[in-house]
Structure formats: C-alpha cells, structure tokens
Chain A
Amino acid sequence: MLIFLVLFPLMAGGSVFILQGQKSRDRMLIFAALLHSACVFSLWKFKPAMSLNGFLGLDALGLLVLSVVSVLFLMVSFYLMGYFKNESDLSHKIFIGFLLFFLSFMTLVTTARHFGLLLIGIEATTLSSVPLINFVKTRQSIEATWKFLMICLVGIALALLGTYFLAVAGLDNVQSLFIDKLLNHAKELSLPWLKMSVIFLLIGVGTKMGLAPMHTWLPDAHSQAPSPVSALLSGCLLNCAFLSILRVGQVCHAAGQAQFFSSMLILLGIISMGVAYVFILGQEDYKRMFAYSSVEHMGILAIGIGLGGVGIYGALLHVINNAFTKGGAFLVTGNLYKQYKSKKVSEIKGVLRNYPITGIFLLAVFLAVSGVPPFGTFISELIILYAAIAGHHYVVAFFYCLFLALIFIGIADIILKMIQGDPSPSVILSAAKDLNVPKDSSPFGLRMTTKESLSMIMPILFLILIVLILGFYIPPFLDNVLQKAAGLLGG
C-alpha cells in the first residue's frame, strides 16, 4: 500500500512526459491527486503494515503530515486548472511532471522509517522542486533558484553528516538507522556523538525548514516561484522538513536528551520570529511578506515543540492550521498577481472594490495568518502560549507574544492598504481595455466586475473553511491522532 502511494505519483509524473495535449496532462494531474487523497483517506481507517523490509511505515506523525500534504496538493492541482491557460507545451509538460515527482518524494519523506531514506527523500524533494521554482525563467527566478539549490544542498550535506554521526553513536549496539530500532535502543547511544548529530541535523534540516538564520533561501524562492508552487513549498515542503526534525526529536526524547533538543529549538524559534518581524515590517513585496510569515510560523512550531507537554499538541495542530492558511494565502497572491501583474504592495489598491471575492479572501487569510480568533491558528497559538506559561518559561512567553503582536501590526499595515482605498486609474484603464469597454466611459465610476475564475476560487474557499472550522471544533478522529502523535514526542 505504502509502496504504491509513493510509486504511483512517480509513474503518473513519468507518463505526463508522454501524454500529448494540455487537457490530458491536466486530467492526469487531477486523477493522481484524487487517487492519492483517496488512498491517504483510507489510511485513517486501516493502519498499513510496514513495507519494503521496514523501510516504509506510517505512524501518527507521518499520517498527520501526509494528510496535510495530500489535501493541499489536491487543492493546488484544482487551482492550477485555472492558473495555466496559455503555457507552451514543453514547459507545461515539465511543470506537471515534476509536480507529481514532488508529491511522490514528499510521500516518501512522510513514510520513511529509516534516517538514510528520509534524507534521500528530502534531497529528492529539493531537486524536484527546482524546475518548479525556475518556471518563469527571469533573472530573479534564476537567482532565487540558485540560492535555493546551493543553500538547501549544503544544508542536506550537513544533515547527512549528522546522520553519519547518529550511526556512529549507535555503532556499539544498535548498528542501524531504522527509527524504530534507534528508539528501542536510544538509551545505549553514545552521548557526545548523539549531541553532535542532533546539532548537525537541526542545522541541516532546519535550513530546509526555513528556521532563521538559515532561512535566506526561503523568501526568494517563495516570491519568485509561481504562486501555486509557493503554496506547496510553504504548506507541504516546510512541514516535511519539520517532520524530519520531529524524528530527531523522537530519538532525543527516547535517549533522555529532550532538554538539550528543546533548548536549541526554542532558541531557533525565537530568532526566526524576530527575523520575520524585522523583514515583514514595511515589506514592499506581498509574496515576500507571506514568505517571512512562513519563517515566523516555523518559529512558532519550533517553540511549541521545544516547550514540550501540551505545547507539542499545539504545535502539531498548528502544522495543520498553518499549512492550509499559508496554502490559501499563496493561492490568493496568485489571484492578485494574475489580476494586477505586480508583486509590489504600492501598486495594488482597492482590491475589495475591484475584485470582491479575492478581496474578502485576502482579508480572511490575513486574519488567519496573524492568528485572529475565529480561525484555527488562534487556538493553536494560544495552546502554545499556555504551554509556555504553564511551564514557567516566562521569557519565551514574553518574546512570543511580543513578536506575534508586532507581526500582526506589520502585516495589517501592508494588507489593509492593499484591500482598502479606491483602485488606481491605471488598473481600471487596463482592465477596461481587457473588457473592450470604451476608455471614455468614466473609469472612476466603473464598478469592476471582472470574472474571477471558479477553479481559482473554490480551492481557496475550501482551505479557509477548514481553518475556520478548526477554530471552533476539532473532530474526535483528528484529536485522537494528534494525541497519539504528541505522545510519540512525549507530549
């Protein structure tokens, strides 16, 4: 079952290169995404057996991240139907093909039960996302791709060294990198090597996860990639990297070194939130702003895990909330970019009047991203704050609240300027030209009702609704899995 789940997106991706015509390739993408989601959905009911000699397996943590990946990927593939209208044949082929490879490798990361396989999976996700980020071949996107590739490859190289150290730590007794074996014999690991390995793995995989100060690739890649890809990077890829850090955490916890692991995570988390605040303030590019907000949320996740106890539950809930919020946010930026052809905040005004639906979505994702009450992000951030106060980490709680508040103000300043106000005349003129409205028909009085394509609206609506519902009600089956997953980390 698990082998099938990893392999069929790979095969679907391969078949895309043979298929002729955009329509058939689109259908292949939707079919693969639907089949993947259906399989993942069935995994909630039937626990799959270990496969491939124990290399693949699924625990509660993996199931959680895999479900997030699968749902978000499905939504993004629906969104893509409306996003790509006039792409050349070859680039479309490459894009859809690598998108499916990307899905396959992310599935591999979530199901890997062996540290070596885990790393190969992460490396493969990096390589398969390169053509996606470099889709629009402009100067900036090449620069972003280069940074992404170099920084992530070095990060993964360091993580690889960390994995070797882990192998050395268990050379006397465990002699394997299977996660289950390591967990069973964690107490016998040699401590100095284990600590070295944790440091290298945290730095290496933390690079991929976008924790400051190793985050420098993230804003560039997210702002230059096509918006649906940014949504996948932010919602799926970062969480896959986070999952790998949690695997390290599991080993640390089992070895009785949870304290060491937590303090490093809390430090990285606070730095990430601080860095995100500094760069969000007065940011001129709205996609970069959301990218820095991703850095912030990765920081929140790290703090939640670092605090331990109920904080772990909060962080895992935040994984779901953040993935869907950020996925939705980047899809909204896709709509904005399609309509305004600009990433500059200063060139966008009056979204609410020009494009009412996109405007409302933008407002909704802004509220969700900054964790305002009706949304699920509020609940998970509150749980993490509670964990900080209950655990007497008052300094952490102080910085956490401070940065959350400051970032809220920073984002509000940017987004509200975009949403409100009268649309600038140039936009109306160009839009009027598209609609073949004569220029002299008083552009300022014109209420624009440009058609907003359905396939670019429904996925966003769905994602926002999930986050909204999670704000009121956590279904028992989800709660059950969250509890189980938190239990794996000692929460």
Chain B
Amino acid sequence: MNVWLDAILILILILGLFIVTSTRLGTMIQIFSMQSVFLGCVPFFLYAKDMEAYIIIVALAAIVLRGFVMPNFLFWAIRHVSVRSEVSPFIGIGTTLLLSGFSIAGSFLLASKLIFPVSISSGLVIPSSFSLIIMGFLLLVGRTKAISQVIGYLVLENGIFLFAILLLKKMPLLVEMGILLDLFIAAVVMGIVVNHISDEFNNTDTIVLTTLKD
C-alpha cells in the first residue's frame, strides 16, 4: 500500500510541475483535473486499514468538485473569454521550473525539521503538500492571465487539502465540508469577476489592470 501511496504523491508532484511549465490554458486545466483526481485518491490509500464512511464521502466530494466541476467551470470560462494561452508571463517558464525544483528540495528540508505527532504511513505527504503550495504561489505571482492565476490558486488549495487529509480523522466533518464549500463559492465568484473583466477590457489579461497605483 505504501508503495502505491508514494507513487501517487510523486505523480501529483510531477503533474504540478507540468502545470507550472505549460502555457496553454486548456492543458493546464486538464492536468489540474488529473492532479485533483489523484489527490482525491490519497485518503483511500492513507486510511486503507481503518476506513470510515465520512472519509470516503470527503474524498469523493473532493474528486467530484476539484476533478470535474471546477475544471468544467474553468473550461466554460475560457470558452467565454476566448483566451487560449499565456503569452508573456512575468516569470519565465525556465525560471519557474527551476524555482519549483528548489521549492521541492526546500519542502523536504522543512518537513524533516517538523515532526508530525502521529506516525504517517508515507513520509512524502508533508513535503508534497508544501511543494504544491509553493508551486501554486509561483503560478499566482508569475502569470498574467486571470485564469492562470485562478489555476494557481486552485493548485495552492490542492496543496492545503493534501495537508488537511492528514487531519481528516481528528477534525470534525463540519470544517472539512465548510472548506470544500468555500472553495466552490470562491470559484463561482472568481468566475463572475473573470466575466466582468472580459466584458470591460475585452481580455482577461491582468496586466491591463494597472490604472490603480501610487
């Protein structure tokens, strides 16, 4: 089981690297969807020995929401605004890849310093979660298209969710479901804003959003 879990986590990280390096929005969304589905499978392997109903529900909800609903919504958004690819990111693809590599190394270093109070069946969970968060952050600050920034935010949320999986047993269901709900609302509101931006500016390039400054 452990081997499978590690394999999935490594796959999630590699998919993260794929997202960071791709410039076509459609590809980014597809890879994000795949990553989310794998992420949703993590609880099944992590809690294989003592499975409980609510863990299955949370995992399935995550797969459906992050793996299918959100990507579909994003696809709808890019069809609507007719933007296909990230032309000139703030931080170049090579640099982003390099920084992501460093972030993975840094995450392992950081995770080795922090001792998780309960034993986990895989040592990769915490470092992968930290790396995903940093990759999401890189996408957020490095890209100019509104939709790539949204994907960056979602990757960051994926990283946080990976960490939350560790706490699934000890935390009340309310909090978990609340967070899934929050994520969903966030996507809806962002979609509304993306629409407004496109109506007003004819594209969703946040680089044109520069009239407010000091």
Q: In the docked arrangement, what's the CA distance between A145 and B115, Å?
A: 40
List CB contacts (< 8 Å) of A191-238 with chain B.
192-193, 196, 219-220, 223-224
A137, A154, A164: which contacts B140 (Cβ < 8 A)? A154
Q: In the docked arrangement, what's the CA distance between A161 and B156, Å?
A: 10
Q: Total number of A-B contacts with CB less than 8 angstroms? A: 108
B117, B140, B189, B201: which contacts A149 (Cβ < 8 A)? B189
Q: CB-CB < 8 A to A288: which residues of B?
A: 214
Q: In the docked arrangement, what's the CA distance between A139 and B202, Å?
A: 11
Instruction: Tell me whether B133 and A161 are in contact (CB under 8 A).
Output: yes
Counting chain A CB atoms within 10 Å of each CB, the highest count among B118, B170, B190 belongs to B170
Instruction: Tell me whether A220 and B212 are in contact (CB under 8 A).
Output: yes
Instruction: Judge if B172 is at the interface, Cβ distance under 8 Å.
Output: yes
Count class of interface residues, chain A: 35 or more
List CB contacts (< 8 Å) of A275-331 with chain B.
279, 283, 288
Q: CB-CB < 8 A to A91: which residues of B?
A: none
Instruction: Judge if B24 is at the interface, Cβ distance under 8 Å.
Output: no
Instruction: Tell me whether B170 and A171 are in contact (CB under 8 A).
Output: yes
Interface string of B158-171 (1 = CB under 8 A from A): 00100110110011
Q: In the docked arrangement, what's the CA distance between A116 and B180, Å?
A: 13
Q: CB-CB < 8 A to B209: which residues of A?
A: 142-143, 146-147
Q: Give the distance to chain B from A298, nearest Cβ to Cβ, in Å.
A: 18
Instruction: Tell me whether A127 and B189 are in contact (CB under 8 A).
Output: yes
Residue of A nearest to B210 (CB): A143
Instruction: Tell me whether A168 and B167 are in contact (CB under 8 A).
Output: yes
A residues in contact (CB < 8 Å) with B: 116-117, 120, 123, 127, 130, 134, 137-140, 142-147, 149-150, 153-154, 157, 160-161, 164, 167-168, 171-172, 175, 177, 190, 192-193, 196, 219-220, 223-224, 279, 283, 288
24 A-B residue pairs with Cβ-Cβ distance under 8 Å, sorted by A, are A116-B172, A116-B174, A116-B175, A116-B178, A117-B174, A130-B192, A139-B201, A140-B211, A142-B193, A145-B193, A145-B196, A147-B209, A150-B140, A153-B186, A154-B153, A157-B157, A160-B160, A164-B160, A167-B167, A171-B117, A171-B170, A224-B212, A279-B214, A283-B214
Beyond contacts A123-B182, A149-B189: 9 other A-B pairs, Cβ-Cβ < 8 A, are A120-B182, A137-B200, A154-B140, A154-B153, A171-B116, A171-B117, A192-B113, A223-B212, A288-B214
